[in-house]
Amino acid sequence: METCRRHYCRVMTSDPSIVTGKVLADLLDKVVVHLSSSATERFFSAAQYKGEEKSVKSAVLSSVEQLGINTCVRYSRHLKLLEDDAEHDLTLLMKNLKIFLSSQRVKSSSELITQQDGYPGHDWLASTVFLIMAGDPERSLRWLLGLSSLLTSAFIWPAGIHASVHVAVEAAESGIPPVYWCTAHYVEMLLKVEVPLVHSAFRMSGFTPSQMCLHWLTQCFWNYLDWSEICHYVSTCVVMGPDYQVYLCVAIFKHLQPEILQHTQSQELQIFLKEEPIRGFKFSSYLEFMERLERSYRDIVLTDMKTL
């Protein structure tokens, strides 16, 4: 994997346009198959799932999930990625995932609304993977099942880790994802050291970087990053490791520093961050910065991520 990571970094900094389309899908496939079949890399137990046609057909998606599917299909047409029957295939994928993930959830007596009927939002990672895999529901499902055994899944797949048997019961019942109590915590810690002006701006605004990280990561950067960068977010976390999620968020805040300082002055920081896309951000421009963060902080960040 180290050789793969070196090549990945080299390509991402020299010509990131290569890591798109079929190349990206094949890369993700090979990496997840390799990692999930390795006893040392596998973090959770391997997924055991066989979707029975009858139960898949009878699975009911929420109105939020249906809206997410419609949005995804519309976006795919805008990007000219998928054919017209994509909605049926994505619905099939979502129903399979709903059944699989329900079997992975803790049996809770919690009265929290988020515990009563599965994940409360749309599964944006699944939608992203579906588009990356060119609308192939079987390949997408196979990939996500493989991903579910890796530590990375706990951070880039909020729907997958929601109320999961793989985290402590208290954490599962709270409905609070590891992205919040781990990723966002370290983003704030690193910002203080690496991008102190942004850290100070947030303190002055009364708004926290954690809130923004949770917002971005829960929806897999949809509506914020360009499609190519969303793909590179997924591939980088899978290839390089889940701690790159932290370094990415720090890199984005660094990229946005001028605008953050400007909107802090005008007391519009929260509106700016929530309503505006992250313009001009390119993974390739910040990968070296992220690699430097990895060298400095991986021992702390990744070690803590493993204490799920």
Residue spans per domain, the chain: 43-150, 178-305
Q: CA-CA distance, 169 to 166, in Å (whole number)?
A: 9
pLDDT digits over 242-299, tens only?
999 999 999 999 999 999 999 999 999 999 999 999 999 999 999 999 999 999 999 9
The pLDDT assigned to 113 comes to: 45
Q: What pLDDT, on the 0 to 100 scale, is given for residue 9?
A: 93
CA gap 165, 107 in Å, rounded: 9
Low-confidence ranges of the chain (pLDDT < 50): 113
List of residues 6+ apart from 161 with CB closer than 8 A: 153, 154, 155, 167, 177, 178
Q: Check residue 118 and give its pLDDT.
A: 74
Q: Would you state the pLDDT for residue 170?
A: 67
Sign of the CA dihedral running 140, 144, 147, 149: negative
Q: 80 has which bridge partners?
A: none
What pLDDT, on a 0 to 100 scale, did the predictor assign at position 39? 87
pLDDT for the residue numbered 107: 72
CB atoms within 10 A of CB 109: 7
Among all chains, which residue has been given the structure tokens 């579910």?
148
pLDDT digits (tens, 9 = 90+) for 171-186: 666 677 788 878 999 9
Give the 3-state secondary structure percentages of the chain, helix then strand then coil, rounded to 5: 70, 0, 30
Q: Name, in order, each residue with C-beta under 8 angstroms of 97's C-beta and a sequence gap of 6 or more.
A: 123, 126, 141, 144, 159
Q: What is the pLDDT of residue 6?
A: 93
Cα 211–chain centre separation: 15
Q: How far apart are CA 150 and CA 129, in angstroms?
A: 16
Q: State the Cα–Cα distance between residues 61 and 117, nearest whole angstrom.
A: 11
164 phi and psi, to 5 degrees?
-80, 150
Alpha-carbon separation of residue 220 from 88, 129, 198, 227 (angstroms): 22, 11, 22, 11
- Among 101, 87, 86, smallest CA distance to 51 is for 101
